[in-house]
Amino acid sequence: MSDIRLEVKKVSKTFGITRALQDVSFNIAKGEIHALIGENGSGKSTLTNSLAGIYHKDRGTFLLDGKEVDPANQVEANNEGISIIVQELGTLDGLTVAENIFLGHEEQFVKFGIKNTAAMNKKANELLKKYGFDKIKAPDMIDDYNFEDRKLVEIVKATYFSPKIVVIDETTTALSREGRDELYKQMKRIREEGNTVIFISHDLPEVLEMSDTITVLRDGVYIDTVKSSEIDEDGLKKLMVGRDVTGAYYRTDYGEEVSKEVVMKVSDVTVPGLISDVSFELHKGEILGFGGLSESGMHEIGKACFGASFDRTGSVTLSDGTHINDIPTAIAHSIAYTSKDRDNESLVMNQSIRDNICLPSLRELSNKAHMLSDKKLKSFAEEFAKKMSTKMQSVDQFVSNLSGGNKQKVVLARWIGKDSDILLLDSPTRGIDIKVKQDIYRLMDEMRKSGKSIIMISEELTELIGMCDRIIIMKDGRINGELLRSADIDENSLIANMV
């Protein structure tokens, strides 16, 4: 018997015109934690989802212990000995904890067509106890538990039957410290039993600490497989990006004087249930950061300044005295907004890149008779999509087929095309890989230097510290501290104001 558990042979998969995987081949051994890394859109999840029966590969084979597997769905994959913990919530509302654990495998509790609920609950409780998750009770509705506990239930669901391969897809980012430790413990246990974990994570230190072997994908192509003990973080980054990641990531200047000129004044803004009595001023050429916990109300600041909040009181005033109370007025006065909810609020998904970029600029693009020409729209869209180096076949392509980073580039291209002076960027680098992040930071720095003002709302403290002239910390919907740009700020001084 060889010690190869899974052979991936020339697996390919396309979505529309996007090639998510191209002839990917590599081996995964028994009894190891095998990490799968790569930038956004590199095909990690596509590969594991194909293995677990969520997607169907176009070509190629998976050989599990030398036998071909091609599961049509997750239950079939389970029966073959493959299970997966997905990135999003993988439990179903409206079912009990026990029903979720045994979803698709209820037949073991069914006699004469009737489900023996008591037996199912008993078995589930035994499992939960074995895992040390005593606080979760099998007969309870899953809805009663929070995100973290539900993830623990998923761990039980995916591992109780000792599958040969367990895929863990970016689960750790959703978990607290204790939850992570619990997951790590289970991963090690699976390895000790001689089974295999495929571990997907963006967190490189975590990958290096937990895994035995690391496989790198880039743009759907297999790059390399390395031993964790023989590589460091920089080496991994280089493999992921395809070149040395050098040069300044964030801004490098300190102590630059910010203009005294106020471009936007926010007074006593309240949005019921979200923010209360928020007042601040935004200066010309300034990057003003907003940080805090996700529920601190900071994400509403962008919407409130854009005139998009429901039921807002207080005032948002520009230097010329204009009050911003609705979106069209905001845009007409050169304000741009990129939402955290990119797919719903920033982009029209089933629409071309062209129309997405041109949408706010149609008035400027039409001639005296209010007519638009296709040629003009196309060249406008191409100009700014290229300026942002958006990866695409043509501007006629739908945005729904683009990766997260490229979608964000389309959003930014739209506002650069509009030449907005005030940019409200909510989580501009969320879910975006290193290379694109760097592009966005550079763009922000250029804009700042050319006198544009930026509000940057972010959950990533390091990027706030790296990019902002001033950081306002939000807590429970109110402003809870303000820090000026300095090389001495560290994350802890921000966190102190956040909680």
Partner 1 sequence: MPIQILKNFFKTGELKKQHVINLIRSSLPIIGLITVFIVFNALTHGNMWSSRKLILNQIYVVMIAATGVFFIMSMGGLDFSQGSIMGIASIVVCKLSGTNIWLAVAGGILAGAAIGAFNAYFYVGRKIKSFIVTICTMFLFRGVIKYMASNSPVAASMRVYDYDTTAIKLGITAAVLLISFIVFRFTSFGIHLKAIGAGEKAVKFAGVRTDRVKFLIYVLAGAITGLAAFVNIVKNGSATANVGNQLETQILIALVLGGMPISGGAKVKFENVIVGSLLYIVLTNGLIMMGLTTQMMQLIQGIVFLIFVALFADRENLSVIK
Contact footprint for partner 1 (CB under 8 A): 16, 306, 308, 327-328, 330-332, 337, 339, 344-352, 355, 358-360, 362-363, 366, 370-373, 398, 400, 414
CB of 305 to partner 1, least distance (A): 13
CB of 318 to partner 1, least distance (A): 16
CB of 222 to partner 1, least distance (A): 24
For partner 1, give the closer residue by CB, 229 or 367.
Answer: 367
How far apart CA 340 and CA 460 sit, in angstroms, is: 13
- Order of all β-strands in the sheet with 213-218: 82-85, 165-169, 196-200, 33-37, 213-218, 221-227
How far apart CA 66 and CA 108 sit, in angstroms, is: 28
For partner 1, give the closer residue by CB, 321 or 328.
Answer: 328
For partner 1, give the closer residue by CB, 84 or 424.
Answer: 424
For residue 474, the cross-strand partners are 292, 479
CB of 358 to partner 1, least distance (A): 7
Assess contact for 99 and 120: CB atoms under 8 A: yes
Residues whose CB falls within 8 Å of the CB of residue 165, separated by 6 or more in sequence, listed in order: 5, 6, 28, 51, 64, 81, 82, 83, 195, 196, 197, 198
| Structure tokens given for 387 | 């300026």
For partner 1, give the closer residue by CB, 123 or 299.
Answer: 299
Residues whose CB falls within 8 Å of the CB of residue 93, separated by 6 or more in sequence, listed in order: 142, 143
Torsion of CA 76, 79, 81, 85, to 10 degrees: 60
For partner 1, give the closer residue by CB, 156 or 399.
Answer: 399
For partner 1, give the closer residue by CB, 352 or 458.
Answer: 352
For partner 1, give the closer residue by CB, 311 or 488.
Answer: 311
For partner 1, give the closer residue by CB, 269 or 410.
Answer: 410
CB of 306 to partner 1, least distance (A): 8
How far apart CA 162 and CA 81 sit, in angstroms, is: 8
Residue corresponding to tokens 């010329």: 320
CB of 368 to partner 1, least distance (A): 13
Assess contact for 142 and 150: CB atoms under 8 A: yes
How far apart CA 174 and CA 182 sit, in angstroms, is: 13
Helix (H), strand (E) at residue 457: strand 453-457
CB of 456 to partner 1, least distance (A): 18
CB of 400 to partner 1, least distance (A): 7
